[in-house]
Amino acid sequence: MTGDTAAATALVTGAGSGIGAAVARAAARAGMRVAALDVAGLDGLGDGILALEADVCDEGAVAGAIARCRERLGVPTAVLANAGVERNGPAHAIPLEEWERTLQVNLTGAFLTARHAIRAMLDAGTGGSVVCTSSPAAFVGFAGGGNAAYAASKGGVSALVRSIALDYAGAGIRVNAVVPGATDTPLLGADAERPARVERAREQIPLGRLGRPDDVADAVLWLWSDAASYVTGSHLVVDGGLMAKSANTF
């Protein structure tokens, strides 16, 4: 992103809850024009945020949403490709449709978001900053297991970030990833096992607590800002120290 952060247009996918909602609100508080995309459920984000319904797996829907953002708010030069799902199960048992859906949302969705946002930036000659949401699962295996689909999708996101960061650096477009650890969002589940799952995670985190969506939002806004103007192709880990440990049991 170039110029004044407050004058920029931000576009956030997966903005219906959790990290995406926190980033959209933080960007609005910073004075940015904000387009928030989700497949559904965009109530309550606040006044002044443009709510757009789009499935990130549908290229036409993504392209159309970015076109509407450009028409209403201007070219999005601060982008977060955050939409994601987590489907757990050992490789021999997870249904193929669950594997495919995880890769479609997490990896193809990030690709399509970056693809059409970058096209808009190139067309306008603006430069910009694209951030994708990766995961510690892209780098380490979880002792609890059953992460094949999610880990593969996030590993792909991290590889995508490194590749396109090189492709578009000459155009003034920076591409980075934020890597949230265990964060208190709906992805941790809403079943009866959630409290025990949260406690197990908390016990493994050196800083002694789960991340908050706002912790990740602060990192994303920094990656968007001119303070990070020399940062591209990188991963900003926001995990309370979890990946620094020799073993990850979450």
Domain count, the chain: 1
Q: Does residue 158 lie in a domain region?
A: yes
Start-to-end Cα distance in the chain? 35
Active site residue 168: no
Identify the pLDDT of residue 142: 76
Q: Is residue 245 part of a domain?
A: no
pLDDT of residue 45: 84
Strand partners, 12: 36, 80
* Paired tokens of 127: 């430069």
**Order of all β-strands in the sheet with 49-53:** 49-53, 33-38, 9-13, 78-81, 128-133, 173-180, 235-238
Q: For residue 65, give the CATH number of its domain.
A: 3.40.50.720
pLDDT tens sequence across 14-40: 999 999 999 999 999 999 999 999 998
> What is the pLDDT at residue 1?
52
One of 99, 111, 150, 168 is an active-site residue; which one? 150
Q: Looking at the domain assignment, is residue 241 inside a domain? A: no
Q: Which residues of 144-174 are buried (b: 16+ CB within 10 A; e: fewer)?
A: eeebbbbbbbbbbbbebbeebbeebeeebbb
Flag whether 250 is in a domain.
no
The model's pLDDT over 75-103, given as tens digits with 9 standing for 90+, comes to 999 999 999 999 889 999 999 999 999 99
Q: Which pLDDT score is estimated for 143?
A: 66
Query: How confident is the model at residue 194, as a pLDDT?
Result: 75
Domain of residue 193: give its range. 5-236
The answer as to whether 21 is a domain residue is: yes
Q: Which amino acid is at 168?
A: Y
Please identify every stretch of the chain with a pLDDT value under 50, giving residue numbers as ranges.
2, 250
What's the rounded Cα separation, in Å, for the pair 59 and 65? 10
Task: Give the mean pLDDT of the chain.
Answer: 92
